[in-house]
Structure 1
């Protein structure tokens, strides 16, 4: 088993549903712990909010408006000194749909 020295993997997870994001973080951290690598993780970044203002009726009541909001949740997990077994097991994970994963070596 080869060990890559002084490297880390940074995994950035994004989702609109925070419960899916929490579940995905737990799966990744458990996988890293099974392969005996240290992970510092599930660091929550600030939630990004997008607010849209929409007219309720376009012809008569111009003062009547509705606001809709989309929240984007983000988490970061760092895996220090990963082995090849760790990388292989991370590639085979089954992550729920709706979670965007960005991996930097």
Structure 2
């Protein structure tokens, strides 16, 4: 697995959780001796929704909501078998989505 590269993609609605989980991953992977690059912040996806408060009388009365999805990427440049075992056994924080690609 010397020439392989793992890509870890993290998504979350809360940037504090995603940054803390990225630090946990970095500390665990560095203990195995693998080289790591990141976390690389990607652009935040913003979805905006407008909802009518009073649909019949006041057309101008509206509420606006938005959902922000924060993204980070980590690259593991020289993973070992021990690195993969740690990734599989790691507890994922609540509210963080983790995707691993080879």
What interval of TM-score do these two structures reach, taking the shorter chain for normalisation? over 0.9
Q: List alignment gaps of at least 5 residues for structure 1.
A: none
How many residues were matched structurally?
A: 102
> What residue in structure 1 maps to residue 97 of structure 2?
100
Matches of 2:38 and 2:88, distance apart in 1: 18
Match of 2:72 in 1: 75
Q: TM-score, normalised by structure 2?
A: 0.96
Of 2, 8, 12, which residue of structure 1 is paired with 2:9? 12
After TM superposition, the structure 1 = structure 2 runs for residues 26-105 of structure 1, keeping only pairs within 5 Å, are: 26-105=23-102
Question: SS of 1:5's equivalent?
Answer: coil
Give the CA deviation at 1:64.
1.3
Shift of 1:94: 1.1
Q: In the TM superposition, what is the alpha-carbon distance from 1:63 to its structure 2 partner?
A: 1.1
Q: Counterparts of 1:68 and 1:27 in 2: how far apart (Å)?
A: 31
Q: Which stretch of structure 1 is more off in the superposition, 6-15 or 92-101?
A: 92-101
Root mean square deviation of aligned Cα: 0.7
Q: Which runs of 4+ in 1 moved over 2 A?
A: none
TM-score normalised to the size of structure 1? 0.94
